Homo-oligomer: A and B are copies of this chain.
Amino acid sequence: MCRLAAYMGPEIFISSLVTEPKHSLIHQSYHAKERIEPLNGDGFGIGWYAPQFCDTPAMFKEVSPAWSNQNLRDVARVTKSSCIFAHVRAATIGGHLSRTNCHPFTWKNYMFMHNGTVFGFEKIRRSLRRQLSDETYEMVKGTTDSEHIFGLFADRVADFTEPTLDNLAESLIGAIGDIEKLKSDAGIDTPSTLNLVLSDGSRMVATRYVTRGDDSNSLYFASAGQYSCIEGVCHMDEGEDAFLVVSEPLDGSQTWQRVVNNHMILVDEHKQVLLRSIEL
C-alpha cells in the first residue's frame, strides 16, 4: 500500500504537507497508522504546478525512502504551489523498485496518484494494454496497476475537448469500471482498492473505492478554509478556500473529515466541494 496527500488552494509551501505536520507524509513513510504495515519506504514522489507552468507539473520522485532524503526536505521547504500531490510508496518486499513506478504520474496537464491495489492485476495487464490507444500505450512507461488506470483515464478524457469537472469524474469512474470489467472477463474474483486522486491544476477528483464490502483504504478531506501548519498542528482557518485530501489525518486536530466508502469528491476551480457516491 501507500499513503498520499493532495492540496489545492492559495499557495503554500510543500513542506506544509510533507514535513511540518506532526503526522506529515514523511512521518507516515515510517509510521503510518491506519494500515497493518506501517512502512512506506519504497520511494516517494511530489508533484506540483508551478506558477508559470500550469501545463506541465513539476515532479520530484525517488526510489529511496522519503525520511532520509535531504533534497526533498530542502525543495519542500522553499517551494510554493497552489496545487500539490505527495505520495510515499510501499512496494511488495523483494520487488524491484524503479522511479518509473513512483507516483504521482503526469500526462499533459494532469497529475494522478493511487493508494490501493488491483489484486490479480498481472492477469489482466496484457488485455488492458491491448485496449489502450497508441498514444496512451506509449505514455504508460512502467508496470504498476496505478499507471495503467491512469492510462485508461487518459483514453476516456481524450474524448472531451475541454472537459468539465463532471467529465473528469466520469472518465475516472469509467477507468474504474474498465478495471472491474477486465477482471470480470478474466474470471478474477479478488477486490480492487482504488483511492485515486486526479487534478488538472485547477480542479480535483478523489475516490475512495473498493470492489465490494467495506475494506477500502482510509481517506479524509478538509475544506472551506485557509490551510496552515504551525508547530506541527494543522489549521483550517476561515478565510480563503483550500482543499486537502489525505490517506490519514496529518495531525490529531478536528480538521479532518472521513470520506464514506465508495464515494468520490469533486472540487471545482472555486474549491467548491461536492460529495457523490460512486456508481459504475
Contacts and interface: CB of A to CB of B under 8 A. Distances in A.
Nearest to A71: B60
A73 interface: yes
Contact of A141 (B42, B67, B91, B143): B143
A77 interface: yes
A166 interface: no
A42 B68 contact: yes
Interface string A112-135: 000000000010001001100010
Interface residues of A, number: 45
A133 to B, nearest CB: 11
Contacts of A138: 122
A176 B54 CA distance: 44
A78 interface: yes
A239 B98 CA distance: 45
A147 interface: no
Nearest to A42: B68
A39 B50 contact: no
A59 interface: yes
B71 A59 contact: yes
A145 interface: no
A141 B70 contact: no
Interface of A: 30, 38-39, 41-42, 48, 50, 52-53, 58-65, 67-68, 70-71, 73-75, 77-79, 91, 93-100, 122, 126, 129-130, 134, 137-138, 141, 143
20 contacts: A30-B39, A30-B41, A41-B41, A59-B70, A60-B75, A63-B64, A64-B64, A64-B65, A67-B93, A68-B91, A68-B96, A68-B97, A70-B96, A70-B99, A71-B71, A75-B75, A96-B99, A96-B141, A126-B134, A141-B143
